[in-house]
Amino acid sequence: MAGTLLGASMDLHGGGFDLRFPHHDNELAQSEAYFENDCWVRYFLHTGHLTISGCKMSKSLKNFITIKDALKKHSARQLRLAFLLHSWKDTLDYSSNTMDSALQYEKFMNEFFLNVKDILRSPVDVTGQFEKWEEEEIELNESFYGRKTAVHEALCDSVDTRTAMEEMRALVSQCNLYMANRKSARRRPNRALLESIARYLTHMLKIFGAIEEESSLGFPVGGPGSSLNLEGTVMPYLQALSEFREGVRKIARDKKVPEVLQLSDALRDDILPELGVRLEDHEGLPTVVKLVDRETLLREREEKKRVEEERRRKREEATRKRQEQEAARLAKMKVPPREMFLSESDKYSRFDENGLPTHDTEGKELSKGQAKKLKKLFEAQEKLHTEYLQMVQNGGAQ
């Protein structure tokens, strides 16, 4: 069939790595003998297997999953990112860990795009339009061009998307560090440089198929065909709402009106996430407004509640253990040293006038070493009991 359609030679021939021998070797031998050449296929692309939780995907094993079913749990972009983060020639395990890595990568990149968009929306005066490059900007720009080269070389090296994606991740990490340093220094980051980097990353993600819709910067918001209009239309209103909320919060703090602060928190935490809007409050800085997928925000909210509940449970557990330890210590303090060994009749049979054991259960006298050890325990209990009596005298113990 291949010979009929493609003739005596072809550039690329694909297939799973398990078909290399004998299937492809036999195919090659027969075709080259028929066409009387030694170049029927110039390049073979043998892809790795797709496994599910470590097992080979197979209908006979009933452990296969259709693309339609996979798209019910994850978006097309998330599936593409999972594939891009692995080499095409290696086995890919479709599992929760694999998809978690893709989700984290998507969130990591999306947060960067949202932060850059917020910086680009920030108003600047005429002088702010002319940005001076300092050592930090020069260093980031050099890194930018270095990472671009590394991405290009990775793709030229047998389409190594995994390395390319990691180089892009490293570039974003450097940008995040740069923005954080500028933020802590109360200085505006270089808008042109960050926009250039964000546009490059957007361009690469479009090439990889991780961004399908038309988007000038980052992942689209609001569905196919509506992202640019949605963001451009609603953001001025959201900025106005955010500034109004900041003013209300300032007055509420100054006038000490906690009810108003609670309402503003409810707007941020409960109301706006339902509409796909995230507000990020920063001490001494303007509130950051981000348009994020509603389902993502709701998952973040549930995760935040889960973490808070887990912290509360751990605090309660720590408090309970501390109270139990204190109760056990108090109970131990109450025991007079003369009585501490008398209940241990399974170990000792005779005691002296102070309650110290002198003989074991067989009637044998305890050795000097044993007696010395018990004497130390007796003295320690004597101190504890004296401390307890002092507490009772001062009214500090029950």
pLDDT of residue 31: 95
Please identify, among 187, 219, 251, the residue that sits at the C-terminal boundary of a domain.
219
Same domain flag for 83 and 13: no
Domains contained in the chain, number? 3
- Domain containing 168 equals 75-124+131-219
Q: Over 70: is that where the pLDDT of 228 sits?
A: no
Same domain flag for 90 and 179: yes
Question: What is the C-alpha separation between 228 and 163, in angstroms, rounded?
Answer: 31
pLDDT of residue 300: 86
For position 213, which CATH number holds?
1.10.730.10
In tens, the pLDDT along 22-53 reads: 999 999 999 999 999 999 999 999 999 888 87
| Confidence band of 224 (pLDDT split at 50, 70, 90) | low
Same domain flag for 15 and 96: no
Please identify, among 174, 191, 219, the residue that sits at the C-terminal boundary of a domain.
219
In tens, the pLDDT along 183-198 reads: 999 899 999 999 999 9
pLDDT of residue 398: 58
Q: Over 90: is that where the pLDDT of 154 sits?
A: yes
Q: Over 60: is that where the pLDDT of 225 sits?
A: no
Same domain flag for 82 and 161: yes
pLDDT of residue 193: 97
Query: Is residue 120 within 8 Å of residue 195, measured between CB atoms?
Result: yes
> Counting Cβ atoms within 10 Å, is residue 260 exposed (0-12), middle (13-18) or buried (19+)?
middle
| Confidence band of 395 (pLDDT split at 50, 70, 90) | confident
Residue 330 lies in a domain: no
> Counting Cβ atoms within 10 Å, is residue 287 exposed (0-12), middle (13-18) or buried (19+)?
middle
The alpha helices in the chain, defined as continuous H runs, are: 2-6, 25-35, 67-73, 76-84, 96-121, 135-156, 161-184, 191-207, 227-255, 258-266, 294-334, 368-393
pLDDT of residue 117: 94
Same domain flag for 66 and 110: no
Of the ranges 55-69, 213-227, 287-301, which is most confident?
Answer: 287-301
Section 279-288 average pLDDT: 90
Residue 364 lies in a domain: yes
Question: What is the C-alpha separation between 73 and 48, in angstroms, rounded?
Answer: 23
pLDDT of residue 59: 74
Section 7-14 average pLDDT: 94
The model scores a pTM over 0.75: no
Query: Is residue 94 within 8 Å of residue 52, measured between CB atoms?
Result: yes
Same domain flag for 96 and 210: yes
Instruction: Kindly report which listed range (56-70, 130-144, 252-266, 373-387) carries the lowest average pLDDT score.
Output: 56-70
Same domain flag for 181 and 53: no
What SS3 class is residue 360? strand
Query: Is residue 236 within 8 Å of residue 121, measured between CB atoms?
Result: no
Amino acid identity, position 171: L
Same domain flag for 63 and 135: no
What is the residue-wise DSSP string for 23-72?
A: IIHHHHHHHHHHHT-S-SEEEEEEEPPEEETTEE--TTTT----HHHHHH
pLDDT of residue 87: 95
Residue 80 lies in a domain: yes
Residue 261 lies in a domain: no
| Confidence band of 310 (pLDDT split at 50, 70, 90) | very high
Give the bridge partners for 279, in sequence order. 289
Same domain flag for 113 and 156: yes
Residue 17 lies in a domain: yes
In tens, the pLDDT along 60-79 reads: 777 788 889 999 999 999 99
Please identify, among 219, 242, 267, the residue that sits at the C-terminal boundary of a domain.
219
Between 300 and 397, residue with greater pLDDT: 300
Query: Is residue 340 within 8 Å of residue 355, measured between CB atoms?
Result: yes
Same domain flag for 180 and 89: yes
Section 4-28 average pLDDT: 92
Query: Is residue 17 within 8 Å of residue 49, measured between CB atoms?
Result: yes
Instruction: Kindly report which listed range (58-67, 137-146, 208-217, 327-336) carries the lowest average pLDDT score.
Output: 58-67
Closest CA to 67 of 75, 59, 309: 75
Query: Is residue 89 within 8 Å of residue 47, measured between CB atoms?
Result: yes
pLDDT of residue 128: 60
Q: Percent of the chain, pLDDT > 70?
A: 96
Q: Over 90: is that where the pLDDT of 231 sits?
A: no
| Confidence band of 223 (pLDDT split at 50, 70, 90) | low
Residue 228 lies in a domain: no
Q: Over 70: is that where the pLDDT of 229 sits?
A: no
Residue 140 lies in a domain: yes
Residue 294 lies in a domain: no
pLDDT of residue 164: 98
Question: What is the C-alpha separation between 85 and 166, in angstroms, rounded?
Answer: 8
Section 108-136 average pLDDT: 86
Average pLDDT over all residues of the chain: 91
Question: What is the C-alpha separation between 15 and 24, in angstroms, rounded?
Answer: 9
Same domain flag for 92 and 208: yes
pLDDT of residue 212: 84
Same domain flag for 159 and 43: no
Question: What is the C-alpha separation between 264 and 196, in angstroms, rounded?
Answer: 35
Which residues 6+ apart lie within 8 Å of 335 measured at CB?
381, 385
Section 111-125 average pLDDT: 89
Between 397 and 6, residue with greater pLDDT: 6
